Amino acid sequence: MSDGGFRALGVRPQVVDALAERGIESPFPIQQLVLPDAIAGSDVLAKSPTGSGKTIAFGLAVVERTRPGGRASALVLVPTRELAAQVADELRAPAAAAGLRVEAIYGGVPLGRQARQARDAEILVATPGRLQDLAERRLLSLAQVEILVLDEADRMLDMGFRPQVDAIARRLPRTRQTMFFSATLDGEVGDLARAYTNNPCRFEAAPPRGDGEGVVVDHAFVPVTAADKLEVLIEHLSGAEGLALVFVRTKRGADRLASRLSERGVRTAALHGDMPQARRERTLDAFRSGRMPTLVATELAARGLDLVEITTVINFDPPADDTSYLHRVGRTGRAGRGGAGVTLVLPEQQADVSRVAARVGRRAEFERAGLRPARPKLVYTSRRGRRSRW
């Protein structure tokens, strides 16, 4: 760490004081890497996983480079409304210290009211769909945006927002600063980054490690059967300290599991995309406050949950791939605190989960549970009979 902390990275004293009031005094690695170049105005490509401190990294750069004036000059695009609300909340204190206003733009609330609030803000945090809707209706101008940030760009593309992102980018001035933050910078994300950035600085940082002795999150794979799966889940929840986030595959599954847990005396709420916005916000407030310490959610609905109080993540339904696994388990172990990521594995799921575990470097934990690793898949057989496997 630099002896000067955030101040040595170019952050003004009043903003540093605002961070300190929230208990943020020492920069994480991604913040140390990004801030000097970002504050200087360079384009940025940052490979930065969930929990690494990326919001403060791009947020402080935006605050330092934005001038008060009551017009939108900085835009942060995020994939979900939960993440939009959370990023906006995290940026409000440092922004206020610099005389700036932050507004979140997402679906589920009246367009007119949102447009009026956004017109007076210098920093907008928005989901692509709602922002494009406002722009097409000419309720909000993006003509003076000088800074564009894409947060969790990989997930934004996975969710099919590329057309909206492209349309929004066409509305922005060609001369601007652009920053990409993503768990990966390969494939389509890399193509998008190259199209929208100019000679960018590229950075990569791992999540912060708590005491420096090893990874923050303990990973476990637990063999279950259809008959005992619920009991095993309740057993893990009863031993959890802090908040617990349980992932399921479908919206109906979230409601059904939350109901079954509630019947067993577990204070539980469900979160998924079919819920009205007001109910979603009430559910999240109950979870954050600890009134409902267990949240059963679909992966999409849980995007943007960034609470250091989440100590346990349980995959009741295993993730489909390694990227989903990292995003899910990345909801715990925040800000250097400990956490646990538990995946329940039915017999017929062992092969697929084994491959995911191997790709995220957790094969040892998988085998330690007495689960059998899958054989490599046969990809093709050449004419000479030589097999290619992965």
- What is the pLDDT, as a whole number, of residue 136? 93
Arithmetic mean of pLDDT over the chain: 86
Domain match, 198 and 223 both: no
Domain identity same for 286 and 322: yes
186 and 45 within one domain = yes
Strand order through the sheet with 339-345 = 217-223, 339-345, 310-315, 243-248, 294-298, 268-271
The β-bridge partners of 387 are 381
Q: Is 317 helix (H, G, I), strand (E, B) or coil?
A: coil
In this structure, is residue 162 part of a structural domain?
Answer: yes
Residue 338 lies in a domain: yes
**Position 113 in a domain:** yes
What's the pLDDT tens digit per position in 192-218?
888 888 889 988 875 544 433 344 688
For residues 64 and 85, state if they share a domain.
yes
Same domain, 306 and 189: no
227 and 124 belong to one structural domain: no
Q: What is the pLDDT of residue 2?
A: 42
**Residue-wise pLDDT tens digits, 242-280:** 899 999 999 999 999 999 999 999 999 999 878 887 888
Phi/psi for 117 (5° steps) reads -65, -40
Q: Please state the three-class secondary structure of 163-189 as a single string.
A: HHHHHHHHHCCCCCEEEEEECCCCHHH
Report if residue 210 sits inside a domain: no
pLDDT of residue 305 exceeding 80, the answer is no
Q: What pLDDT digit, counting tens, does each position of 310-360 carry?
A: 889 999 999 988 878 888 888 887 656 678 999 999 999 999 999 999 888
Q: For residue 381, tell me if it sits in a domain.
A: no
Q: How many domains does the chain have?
A: 2
Domain-located, residue 350: yes
Residues 196, 233 within the same domain: no
User: 204, 232, 249 — which closes off a domain?
Assistant: 204
Provide the pLDDT for residue 390: 37
Share of the chain above pLDDT 90, in %: 51
Please indicate, yes or no, whether residues 306 and 239 belong to a single structural domain of this protein.
yes
Considering the domain architecture, whether residues 15 and 110 belong to the same structural domain is answered as: yes
Residue ending a domain, among 181, 204, 227, is 204
Mean pLDDT, range 177-188, rounded to an integer: 86
Position 209 in a domain: no
Interatomic CA distance for residues 241 and 251, integer angstroms: 26
**229 and 199, same domain (yes or no):** no
Residue 300 scores a pLDDT above 90:
no
- Residue where one domain finishes, among candidates 148, 172, 204: 204
Q: What is the pLDDT of residue 385?
A: 47
217 vs 66 pLDDT, higher one: 66
Give residue 211's pLDDT.
Answer: 38
Instruction: Answer yes or no: do 105 and 24 share one domain.
Output: yes
Please give the residue range of the domain that contains residue 151. Answer: 5-204
- 136 and 39 in a common domain: yes
In a domain, 385, yes or no: no
How confident is the model at residue 235, as a pLDDT?
Answer: 93
CATH of the domain at 172: 3.40.50.300
Tell me the percentage of the chain whose pLDDT exceeds 70. 89
Q: Quick one: how many helices (H) and strands (E) in the chain?
A: 17, 15
